[in-house]
Chains A and B, each alone.
Chain A
Amino acid sequence: MTEIKRESPVQFKVSPLKVEARDNWTVALEYDEEGQGPWLVDLAHKTRWDLQDRKVGELTPCDLAVPEAPGECTFADNTLINRMNRTQASIFHLGAEAPGLPDFSGYTDVTESTVFLALFGPKAFFIAEKLTALDFLDPAKKAPFLYQGPFCHVPCQIVTLEKAADGSGGFLLTCSRGYGDSMVHAILEAGSALGLRPAGENRFNTWIQGLQG
């Protein structure tokens, strides 16, 4: 009998060392030889919502304010709210569990729509500059902030959570799910010279816990 299992759009060539079953996903917690960074983590299992409403700025998903200006983000309690435009925001649940979709027609669960990756660690942005002209290290931008733009020619939502002038820091990236294989291949190829390795959810958790203080 076929087991009901969920599959991520992203598959790394190496097998994880430690996994955990969660909501039918097989979540990779740790990989062998994750290295000293930068790291690439698959977050496909993390719940993402799309929220659209004419008065989106007045809404408070998960009791958090939707930021005022497009490109701004709110990051607290493992929840990230990214203002996309006048009427739209995206919500990423980065913790182990996500609340149920609120009973309001403006929400759409888009977890299944996208590839969801985190790229972070030393030189993370030197990998990014091989794939996009977006200016992550713009001194005028304060993390966290959202870019909607091309990454390796594919339209993406990219949230920079941390950055430093030496190119270290990290970001979350979502793009159409179908691009999973191509995107991971491109990122790992561009990052190979800088030591980019796949990593598990544990390392991601350590990173974002550090960011939230």
Chain B
Amino acid sequence: MNRLNQLPTLRITPSEKLSLNYRGKTVQGVAGDTVATALFANGVRVFARSLKYHRPRGLYSLDGECSNTCMDVNGVPNVRTENTLLKDGMVVREQNVKGSADRDWLAFIDKLDWMMPAGFYYKTMHKPAAIWPVAMKQIRKAAGIGVISADYQMKGQYDEMFIKAEVTVIGGGAAGMTAALAAAESGQRVVLLESRPHLGGCFDYRVSTTAEGTPLYERARDLAEKVKLTGNIRVFKHTSMVGAYNNNLITAFQVGKASDTFTERYIEIRSDSVVVATGCIERPLIFDHNERPGVMQVGCAHRMARTYGLLPGSEAVFSVGHDLGLEAAVDLFDLGLKINCVADIREDGQNPELMLALAERKIPVLKGWVAAKAHGCKKVEKVTLSTVEGTVKRQFPCDLLVASAGLTPVTGPFILAQAKMGYDSHTGYFLPTELPEKMFPAGRITGVNHPGAIEASGRLAGLKAAAAAGADVGKTVAEAEKAASVLPGPERGCKLVTAPVKGRKSFICFDEDTTIKNIKQAIEMGFDVPELIKRFTSAGTGPGQGGIPGHNLPLFVAKYTASISTPVPTTVRPPLVPTFLATYAGYNHHMFKHTPLHDSQIADGGIFRNIGVWQRARYFSADFDCREEILNVRNNVGMLDGSTLGKFRIHGPDALKALQRVYVSDMSKVKEGRIKYSAMCNDDGCVIDDGVVVKLGENDYYFTTSTGRAGQTVEWIRYHTRFDGWDFSLVNLTDAMGVINISGPNARKVLSKVVDIDLSSEAFPFSGYREFLIKDAVFVRAMRLGFVGELSYELHVPSSYTQAVWDLLKEAGAEFGIRNFGVEAQNVLRMEKCHVILGSESEQRTNLLDLGLGFLWDRKKADAKTVGAVALRQAEKDAGRLKLVGIRMEDDDRPARDGALIVDNNVRGYVATMRKSFTTGQAVGMALVESQLADIGTRIEIFEDECNGVRLYARVVATPFYDPKGERMKS
């Protein structure tokens, strides 16, 4: 197809050829083409088949307001090819067709529309029930749009950015550019978003002139140049706004050019004020077969020629309701299009200059006429025009029917920003009755169409937005207001939506194949609110997001129900245009914490798991029962990376008071050189944390928390002291120190090779705390704890030195066969000792007493107002609580799974942790059970998932299972 290659309005570079693969064949497009225009240039007229009826569909709006040109591009289905820029080598396929879009075997379904009245699937598919699964399969095969496989991997780079600006302008047409320039005058930061790949909006392709005689396309390019030269305006082209939220948060996404490093980019803009200059789309004219290939909107036909150099047909009929249609007819005639007739819905009110131009070109004009039916199967061959009353009809041959009822403002941003919308009977638009805070409309969205008025309204809105963002521009605003007031205001809009037709094949929504007849059926069934009719008929729920039926549906419903109240629009929700999930995901950075020993743990064969914010080595062999790791600790010596432990310093005059508030024990009894184990509860007395406290000096303490609580500890202590005005300081040292736990009967021998202090049980006893230097350089805090039930030292080492100290110990331990153990081995070791892990042996409702940790609670420190004490005092009298007990399976080879239920006829508790204990040879664990089951010797019944009715049995036994006197850990 020959292009009009010399037009000054072109946005393509005809000399730069790009190729694409379409249905296995290579075809040529040029730089600047969209996929759809390139295909059109190669003679493609039928781009897709419709969702239900498999009707042929072609170019209609060029802005992606319907699914007509949705295709599969590079393996991604449902790509709106009419606003996807062509890149070299794209592979494009049709979707939802058997055969091809041009020859689709399923096209016969179009004849079966009588079987599918509105809501048929709700009403027919439930009886008899057996049909449903079968029918569903068949329907899904025939209906739908693109297909994606479940394991499809999205390709490309997805960028994201979070911008702050004073003013955001949505829409880069004349009004948007003027608004941006005006707002930028005061030096504020302005962001300008334009959904097309170039600025210019409705000026971009028009040769009619401004009052000064400049062609509009030139004016648009002048403005774009000014915008480009203004340093404080950031322009994002090919960027669709998708969401507007509270406090003027705007979200959008940008499509990358071939030269960009990103495929798409998610953009979030927080600005003080927003200008909405989104302009208008066209209001689809509804008549029989109004979506046949060859029927297109005015802007589509006009831009095909002016922007892409492609004459959209050879012989045309126009059926329009606004001056833009007449302007396009004149211009397209001059570009070589034969025009058989222009039908204008309006009886009068046309721009006389345009009428004169049409007369000069001898184009017949019928006023008060409208298209009633498009004839032809896969493309328009002729059209029946009718008077708007339907009294007289005439036919005209054509291969292009330019049809448009009028204009519809793109008010999505206002609706998203929770504006109340109302019908304006002058323009025929749904407009905000009250503007959201600091949000200003500009340009055609306000109803103006005069080029000067568009710019004036843009300037005014830009200045108002700047003022709302704090700029001192009061005087300039007044001047701009005056300038705008002398220009033509909002134009009276054409109100006709449907030609005089019955509507069986008149489509109100193209995406969902919803006809006027379907809407009538829904109304006759009793639906009267557009919002509900939308859902019942699915009109406006497709990829076009209501772009086609947006205004027509409520207007038609109002008319058809003879409603005396003003029409109510349906609402829209983000995203306003279809957006890839990959775009929302963006970089999807995985932010996990690593311990100082991370790399060496990997080198030692650690198998990692994400545990809260950390990645930790859970196992050190493929044996997930960890037999070797466990036995090595029991019989020899092992090392664990415990760096994830929460670690804090608290100091200041009221430090002790703060500790008394959050810990259940009496913290005034913490002695220097000793560690104190205690727990924290919440206001319900439920245990949330346990750890040890060490006194470093007067009102200066060092304490540890469990890994999971570390992130919330400071917040927790500050919250529970927020009314007290106490003077204490907290420092989170969790990441400042790595923790090496060295445990086992040989631990002392290993450690003594590395440190100089006396490690004998007398000099450094169980529960002791010591500080010392290793190699005169590394300051270490050491604690003797017994979590795993063996002689055990916990060394807190500055993070940067942790690896060095670990390596020293490993070297020293080599002769004993020292080896790593991981989190799972530790879990079994401590379970054998019945030491609890909060979150394993407790859940949200488990209190301190339930766990048997009541001995930690000091009832006498009433002044401290200990968090949880009130509830614990009350819970002491409550007999109906769960108790933590030790249990042993009757079959030692069959431990129950963690979380298995303890039952009789009701649920009586659950298994917290249970393992086969290699040390004792028994299957033992801990369970939370109702108190009447807590006595030693009680037989309990266990239910597991997928147990097929077979129950497991266990008995309550004495705890701990290993070294009950604690001789080993205190040795």
Residues of A within 8 A of B (CB): 1-9, 24-25, 44, 50, 52-54, 87-88, 105-106, 108, 110, 112-114, 129-133, 135, 137-139, 152-154, 165-166, 176-183, 185-186, 189-190, 192-193
Contact = CB atoms under 8 A, between A and B. Distances in A.
Contact of A129 (B163, B261, B649, B733): B163
Given A4-B777, A113-B735, A130 B593 contact: no
Residue in A4, A44, A54, A189 with the greatest tally of chain B CB atoms within 10 Å = A4
A183 B589 CA distance: 9
A152 B159 contact: no
Contacts of A177: 596, 735-736, 799
Residue in B598, B732, B799 with the greatest tally of chain A CB atoms within 10 Å = B799
A133 B165 CA distance: 11
A110 B777 contact: no
A130 B161 CA distance: 4
Interface in B795-840: 798-801, 803-804, 807-808, 811
Contact of B731 (A1, A4, A108, A129): A108
Nearest to A178: B593
Contacts of B164: 133, 135, 137-138
A128 B652 CA distance: 37
Contacts of A114: 735
A114 B737 CA distance: 11
B231 interface: yes
Contact of B268 (A3, A24, A133, A183): A133
B189 A182 contact: no
Given A87-B729, A112-B800, A183-B591, 5 more contacts: A105-B697, A106-B729, A112-B736, A179-B593, A182-B592
A139 B727 CA distance: 36
B651 A137 contact: no
Contact of B800 (A25, A87, A137, A189): A25
B166 to A, nearest CB: 9
Contacts of B232: 165
A24 B187 CA distance: 50
A182 B591 contact: yes
25 contacts: A2-B808, A2-B811, A4-B804, A9-B799, A105-B700, A108-B731, A110-B731, A112-B733, A112-B800, A130-B159, A137-B164, A165-B231, A165-B232, A176-B735, A177-B596, A177-B799, A178-B735, A179-B591, A179-B593, A182-B592, A185-B589, A186-B591, A189-B587, A193-B261, A193-B262
Interface of B: 159-164, 187, 189, 231-232, 261-262, 268, 270, 587, 589-596, 598, 613-614, 649, 651-652, 697, 700, 727, 729, 731-737, 774-775, 777-778, 798-801, 803-804, 807-808, 811
A121 to B, nearest CB: 18
A52 B798 contact: no
Listed from nearest, the 8 A-B pairs whose CB atoms lie closest are A178-B593, A52-B729, A6-B800, A177-B735, A135-B164, A133-B162, A113-B736, A193-B261
Contacts of B727: 54
A154 B591 contact: yes
Contact of B801 (A4, A88, A133, A153): A4
B589 A5 contact: no
Contacts of A137: 164, 189
Contacts of A25: 800
B591 A52 contact: no
A44 to B, nearest CB: 7
Given A6-B800, A44-B800, A186-B587, A52 B731 contact: yes
Contacts of B593: 176, 178-179, 182
Contact of A113 (B189, B262, B270, B733): B733
A9 B587 CA distance: 22
A153 B736 contact: no
Nearest to B164: A135
A40 B777 CA distance: 29
Contact of B161 (A3, A129, A176): A129
Contact of B270 (A44, A108, A133): A133
A190 B673 CA distance: 48
A165 B804 CA distance: 45
Nearest to B808: A2
Contacts of A9: 594, 596, 799-800
Nearest to A55: B727
Contacts of A182: 589-594
Nearest to B778: A4
Contacts of A53: 652, 729
B946 to A, nearest CB: 38
A130 B697 contact: no
Contact of A130 (B587, B613, B735, B777): B587
B447 to A, nearest CB: 36
Contacts of A6: 798, 800-801, 804
A3 B594 contact: no
B775 A4 contact: yes
A190 B587 contact: yes
A180 B594 contact: yes
A132 B162 contact: yes
A9 to B, nearest CB: 7
A135 B594 CA distance: 29
Contact of B651 (A106, A179, A186): A106
A2 B590 CA distance: 33
Given A6-B800, A50-B731, A153 B589 contact: yes
Contact of A112 (B231, B798, B804, B807): B798
A15 to B, nearest CB: 15
A154 B735 CA distance: 14
A138 B188 CA distance: 10
Contacts of B595: 178
Contacts of A193: 159, 261-262
A23 to B, nearest CB: 9
B651 A152 contact: no
Contacts of B736: 110, 112-113, 177
Given A130-B161, A181-B594, A186 B589 contact: yes
B189 to A, nearest CB: 7
Nearest to B595: A178
A88 B728 CA distance: 11
Contacts of A24: 777, 800-801
Contacts of A2: 804, 807-808, 811
Contacts of A138: 164
Contacts of A7: 596, 800, 803-804
Contacts of B798: 6, 112
Contacts of A189: 587, 589
A185 B593 CA distance: 12
A180 B700 CA distance: 29
A168 to B, nearest CB: 13
A115 to B, nearest CB: 9
Nearest to B166: A139
A159 to B, nearest CB: 18
B594 A178 contact: yes
Residue in A7, A112, A182 with the greatest tally of chain B CB atoms within 10 Å = A112
A105 B735 contact: no
Contacts of B589: 152-153, 182, 185-186, 189
A8 B800 contact: yes
